[in-house]
Amino acid sequence: MTTTTNASPVPLLSAAELNVTFPGRRGAPSSRAVDGVDLDIGAGEIVALVGESGCGKTTLARTLLGLVPPSRGRVTFAGEPLGYGARSLKAYRKRVQLVLQDPSGSLNPRHTVYDAVAEGLRIHGHQGDERAAVAEALSRAGLRPPERFFLRYPHELSGGQRQRVVIAGALVLEPELIVADEPVASLDASVRGEILALLLSLRDELGLSALVVTHDLGLAWNIADRVAVMYLGRIVETGPVEDVLTDPQHPYTRALLSVLPESGQTPVVLMGEPPDPSRVPGGCRFHARCQVLASGEAARAGVEERCRTESPPVLTGGPAAQVACHWATAK
């Protein structure tokens, strides 16, 4: 677990009132995949974005990268609003790099490691010594000596090595922030720790910031300075890892934590259907599945009616611990 937060007061990346709506197919209701999100990532900070599959993590990540234009709200990087023109986006993608979910899928099987890593340099018209830059990026990603990997093909590498090549391809452009979508989901447990340790060392050595998207709260525990828990398009709890994971306030965060083997708790089985962003319920969006409401605890705290009828306030970005739950705020 990380105990230091290197966040600077001015966030490197900031999302405000972000909404992304996808039109429904054949007259179906539209999907509010991201539904009012404020999120800040500080320089040198690792933020984990956590939530069940389908809650909108990838859509939010892609919106922060400028790959999806928001329906409402804005993204700001280093104090400047993100522009959606081709030139602005190209410049932005040099500073904010995506590390994809599936390393075998994101590497072209016919490209050597050298070409895979050099690709970004070529797209951005790099003027310096390409070979030295590729070697440096591979080395930083832990593939040493780098020259040994130049002419290898993806199928000749292990899953962990392929993920390191993908990370090297991002690092070669010397970004300030990487967005890693489920970076270890397809890796064996034994290599996961190595890749997470690599991300931590990049933060410590290069001051690199990262948004790590994961459905696994345990992973957030191992790597992040701060965590944002997302449910049905919205951040429902956020704060320093120490606060959110040792003393979770939102019933949803509690349920996610309870299923981790190391929690030693009886797992909370979430009731009802998993999130469907085309049918966001009224009141608290979690109310149909909330164990605190079902058990009568919310009623005892005098908030049951509000749970069913009133949406908890949207959380602001920023580093402080915050929770969007009537019961957690009232108790």
Ligand X SMILES: Nc1ncnc2c1ncn2[C@@H]1O[C@H](COP(=O)(O)OP(=O)(O)O)[C@@H](O)[C@H]1O
C-beta closer to ligand SF4: residue 157 or 228: 228
For tokens 């990603």, name the residue. Answer: 141
User: In 10 A of CB 244, how many CB atoms?
Assistant: 28
Q: Which amino acid is at 275?
A: P
Please tell me the distance from the alpha carbon of residue 202 to that of residue 222, in angstroms, as a whole number: 15
Joined together, the tokens standing for residue 118 give 């050099």
| 55 contributes a contact to ligand X by CB under 6 A | yes
Q: Which does 31 bind (CB under 5 to 8 A by kind): Mg ion, ligand X, ligand SF4, none?
A: ligand X
Q: Phi/psi at 313 (nearest 5 deg)?
A: -60, 150
Joined together, the tokens standing for residue 85 give 């023109």
Please tell me the distance from the alpha carbon of residue 188 to that of residue 191, in angstroms, as a whole number: 6
Size of interface with ligand X, in residues (CB under 6 A): 12
Q: How far is the CB of 43 from Mg ion (least distance, A)?
A: 25
| 33 contributes a contact to ligand X by CB under 6 A | yes
Please tell me the distance from the alpha carbon of residue 158 to that of residue 155, in angstroms, as a whole number: 8
Q: Is the peptide bond before 274 cis (omega within 30 degrees of 0)?
A: no
Judge whether 126 and 108 are in contact, CB under 8 Å: no
| 21 contributes a contact to ligand X by CB under 6 A | no
**Applying CB under 6 A, which of residues 22, 136, 193, 254 lies at the interface with ligand X?**
22
| 327 contributes a contact to ligand SF4 by CB under 6 A | yes
| 277 contributes a contact to ligand X by CB under 6 A | yes
C-beta closer to ligand SF4: residue 12 or 307: 307
| 203 contributes a contact to ligand X by CB under 6 A | no
Q: Which does 59 bind (CB under 5 to 8 A by kind): ligand SF4, Mg ion, ligand X, none?
A: ligand X
User: In 10 A of CB 71, how many CB atoms?
Assistant: 16
Strand-pair partners of 21: 32
Q: What is the DSSP string of 200-239?
A: HHHHHHH--EEEEEES-HHHHHHH-SEEEEEETTEEEEEE
C-beta closer to ligand X: residue 31 or 97: 31
Interface residues with Mg ion (CB under 5 A) are 57-58
Query: What size, in residues, is the chain?
Result: 331
Q: Which does 286 bind (CB under 5 to 8 A by kind): ligand SF4, ligand X, Mg ion, none?
A: ligand SF4
C-beta closer to ligand SF4: residue 211 or 292: 292
Please tell me the distance from the alpha carbon of residue 251 to that of residue 263, in angstroms, as a whole number: 15
String marking each residue 277-316 x if it binds ligand SF4 according to CB under 6 A: -------x-xx--x-xx----x--------x----x----
Please report which helix (H) or strand (E) contains residue 256, including its range: helix 251-258
DSSP state of 154: G
Judge whether 12 and 260 are in contact, CB under 8 Å: no
| 281 contributes a contact to ligand X by CB under 6 A | no
Q: Which stretch binds ligand SF4 (CB under 6 A): 18-26, 176-184, 217-225, 321-329?
A: 321-329
String marking each residue 222-261 x if it binds ligand SF4 according to CB under 6 A: ----------------------------xx----------
| 53 contributes a contact to ligand X by CB under 6 A | yes
Instruction: Write the CB contacts of 86 (distance below 8 Å, at least 6 apart in sequence).
Output: none
Joined together, the tokens standing for residue 169 give 């391809």
Please report, as residue ranges, which positions from 56 to 115 form the binding site for ligand X (by CB under 6 A). 56-59
**Applying CB under 6 A, which of residues 36, 54, 73, 283 lies at the interface with ligand X?**
54
| 275 contributes a contact to ligand SF4 by CB under 6 A | no
Site residues for ligand SF4 per CB under 6 A: 250-251, 284, 286-287, 290, 292-293, 298, 307, 312, 325-327
Site residues for ligand X per CB under 6 A: 22, 31, 33, 51, 53-59, 277
